């Protein structure tokens, strides 16, 4: 019993103990003017339920305010319950005051989940941040054209919705795609997006370490869990996320936010 209580106590503590990382991202064909561009990547707040993930999210926003990146991207699962909407709006406003901020929704925002706590709470607008749903926008950074597109998570099941590659343009100096599900990168045609940012996985959330690796109990057999992946079609960064689902614990899967620093390959 004591060991079980200690394990639960640690899991509760870890859920509010965020890790902040600086990740260098080499990209082929990156214009010299965009070398060193910094993108804060956050994901999976899951606000609205009792969890130390709220504390991790608030600390991550404070960290972004200190770092002052060039762009901020948030890749879905903003809410688990609509009760978290006031806090979400406050945090997104703070991020947008730092840098152009773009977000997408995740499956929990539509209550597409086995999580019994989830209610349907898809936001329509997050001004002054820009919420993207199967659309993209162009921004000028350092004199270069940067295109940011965001996919609706329902495109995973509904093939009549616009698929990731359909969101691409051919007149950008840097193209970035926001996905919630990392596995949708398989639907990205080679060369249409320079960088893909995704979430959903929580780094496994409940992991069992073993010599040489970890067993991701929440996502057994997943190809992408967290970190940077160099793929034939593109380069993808998967966030470990900040909140929790089903249970308010994390084991060997600390919440995290990342500052991606773009470099010429």
Q: Taking each helix axis from N to C terminus, what angle separates 53-67 and 85-98, rounded to the nearest 10 degrees?
A: 20
pLDDT band at 154 (very low <50, low <70, confident <90, very high): confident
Q: Report the predicted TM-score, pTM, of the whole model to 2 decimal places.
A: 0.95
CA atoms of 115 and 35, how far apart (whole Å)? 41
In tens, the pLDDT along 121-142 reads 888 999 999 999 999 999 999 9
Residue 85: closest CA among 54, 46, 48, 127: 48
DSSP state, residue 162: P
pLDDT band at 2 (very low <50, low <70, confident <90, very high): low
Does the structure show a pLDDT above 80 at 159? Answer: no
| pLDDT at residue 4, as a whole number | 65
With 0-12 CB in 10 A as exposed, 13-18 as middle and 19+ as buried, what is 67?
A: middle
What are the two backbone dihedrals, phi and then psi, of residue 34, each rounded to the nearest 5 degrees?
-95, 0
Contacts of 17 (CB under 8 A, 6+ apart): 56, 254, 255
Between 195 and 11, name the one with better pLDDT: 195
Residue 202: closest CA among 247, 262, 160, 151: 247
Residue 260: closest CA among 231, 219, 233, 229: 229
CA atoms of 154 and 106, how far apart (whole Å)? 8
pLDDT band at 12 (very low <50, low <70, confident <90, very high): confident
pLDDT band at 211 (very low <50, low <70, confident <90, very high): confident
Residue 147 to residues 113, 130, 174, 175, 178: CA-CA distances in angstroms?
A: 30, 13, 6, 5, 11
The H or E element that residue 14 is part of is: helix 2-14
pLDDT band at 160 (very low <50, low <70, confident <90, very high): low
Bridge partners of 122, per DSSP, are none
* 3-state SS string for 57-121: HHHHHHHHHHHCCCEEEEECCCECCHHHHHHHHHHHHHHHHHCCEEEECCCHHHCCCCCCCCCCC
Tokens of 214: 């970890």
Mean pLDDT of 103-123: 87
Contacts of 77 (CB under 8 A, 6+ apart): 43, 44, 45, 46, 105, 106, 107, 108, 109, 180, 199, 200, 241, 243, 245
Bridge partners of 41, per DSSP, are 73, 258
The H or E element that residue 216 is part of is: strand 213-216
Q: To the nearest whole percent, how much of the chain has pLDDT over 90?
A: 77
pLDDT band at 162 (very low <50, low <70, confident <90, very high): confident
């Amino acid at each position: 019993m004591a060991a079980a209580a200690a394990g639960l106590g640690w899991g509760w503590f870890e859920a509010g103990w965020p890790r902040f990382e600086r990740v260098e991202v080499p990209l082929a064909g990156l214009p010299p003017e965009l070398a060193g561009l910094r993108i804060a990547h956050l994901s999976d707040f899951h606000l609205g339920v009792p969890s130390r993930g709220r504390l991790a999210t608030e600390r991550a926003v404070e960290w972004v305010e200190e770092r002052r990146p060039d762009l901020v991207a948030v890749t879905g699962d903003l809410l688990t319950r609509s009760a978290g909407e006031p806090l979400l709006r406050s945090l997104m406003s703070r991020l947008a005051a730092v840098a152009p901020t773009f977000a997408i929704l995740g499956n929990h925002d539509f209550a597409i989940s086995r999580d019994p706590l989830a209610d349907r709470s898809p936001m329509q607008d997050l001004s002054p941040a820009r919420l993207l749903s199967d659309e993209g926008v162009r921004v000028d950074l350092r004199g270069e054209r940067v295109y940011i597109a965001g996919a609706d998570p329902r495109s995973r099941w509904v093939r009549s919705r616009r698929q990731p590659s359909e969101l691409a343009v051919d007149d950008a100096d840097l193209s970035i795609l926001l996905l919630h599900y990392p596995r949708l990168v398989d639907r990205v045609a080679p060369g249409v997006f320079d960088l893909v940012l995704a979430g959903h996985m929580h780094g496994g959330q409940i992991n069992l370490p073993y010599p040489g690796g970890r067993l991701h109990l929440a996502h057994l057999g997943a190809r992408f869990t967290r970190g940077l992946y160099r793929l034939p079609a593109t380069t993808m960064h998967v966030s470990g996320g900040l909140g929790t689902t089903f249970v308010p614990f994390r084991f060997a899967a600390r919440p995290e936010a990342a500052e991606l620093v773009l470099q010429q390959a």
